[in-house]
Amino acid sequence: AEVRRYEIGAALWTGQWDLAARLMLTANRSSDGAVCEGAIAAFRSGELAKGMELLPEEGAEGLRNLAMQLVLGRPALEALQSAVPAAVWARYLGSVSKLAWNHAVVARLTKQPRRPVAGDLIWDGETGDVRHLKFDELDSKGLSDILLPLPRPGEPVPECSGRLYLEAVLRQLVPGADAPEAAFPFKVSTLLPQARRIVGLPGDVSWDITEAENGPLVACDLSHLGIEPSPEEQRHSAPSASPRAGRRSKSSDRSKGPALRLRFSLPRGESAEGVLSELLRASPSEFVEGLGRRDELF
Interval 171-204: pLDDT, tens: 999 998 999 999 999 998 888 888 888 887 888 8
3-state secondary structure of 209: strand
**CA–CA distances in Å: residue 88 to residues 79, 91, 142, 191:** 14, 5, 36, 11
**CA–CA distances in Å: residue 91 to residues 97, 152, 202, 270:** 10, 13, 24, 16
Q: pLDDT: is 291 or 142 the higher one?
A: 142
Exposure of 243 in the CB half-sphere (CA atoms within 13 A):
11
> Binning pLDDT at 50, 70 and 90, where does residue 162 land?
confident
Q: pLDDT: is 141 or 239 the higher one?
A: 141
Q: pLDDT: is 76 or 236 the higher one?
A: 76
Q: What is the pLDDT of residue 199?
A: 84
**CA–CA distances in Å: residue 140 to residues 3, 109, 124:** 45, 19, 14
Question: 122-154, pLDDT tens digit by residue?
Answer: 988 788 788 999 888 888 898 888 999 999 999
Query: Which of 14-23, 33-42, 76-85, 164-173 comes out lowest in average pLDDT?
Result: 33-42
The closest alpha carbon to 52, from 22, 33, 25, belongs to: 25
Hey, what amino acid is at 39? A
> Binning pLDDT at 50, 70 and 90, where does residue 31 land?
very low
Q: What is the pLDDT of residue 227?
A: 53
Decide: 106 and 113 in contact? Cβ < 8 Å. Answer: no
pLDDT at 156 over 50: yes
End-to-end CA distance of the chain: 21
Query: Which of 36-45, 60-69, 183-192, 224-233 comes out lowest in average pLDDT?
Result: 224-233
Query: Looking at the DSSP assignment, which residues form a beta bridge with residue 209?
Result: 260
pLDDT at 103 over 60: yes
Decide: 66 and 79 in contact? Cβ < 8 Å. Answer: yes
- H/E element, 23: helix 17-26
Please state whether the predicted TM-score (pTM) of the whole model is above 0.85. no
The residues, any chain, with a CB within 8 Å of residue 168's CB and separated by 6 or more, are: none
The helices-and-strands tally (H runs, E runs) of the chain is 10, 6
The residues, any chain, with a CB within 8 Å of residue 56's CB and separated by 6 or more, are: 35, 36
- Whole-number percent of the chain with pLDDT over 90: 31
pLDDT at 32 over 50: no
Q: What is the pLDDT of residue 194?
A: 87
Mean pLDDT of 258-262: 78
Q: What is the mean pLDDT of the chain?
A: 78
> Binning pLDDT at 50, 70 and 90, where does residue 119 land?
confident
Q: Which long-range contacts link 246-251 to residues 24+ away (Cβ below 8 Å)?
A: 247/219, 247/282, 247/286, 248/30, 248/32, 248/286, 248/290, 248/291, 248/292, 249/216, 249/219, 249/289, 249/290, 250/32, 250/290, 251/216, 251/289, 251/290
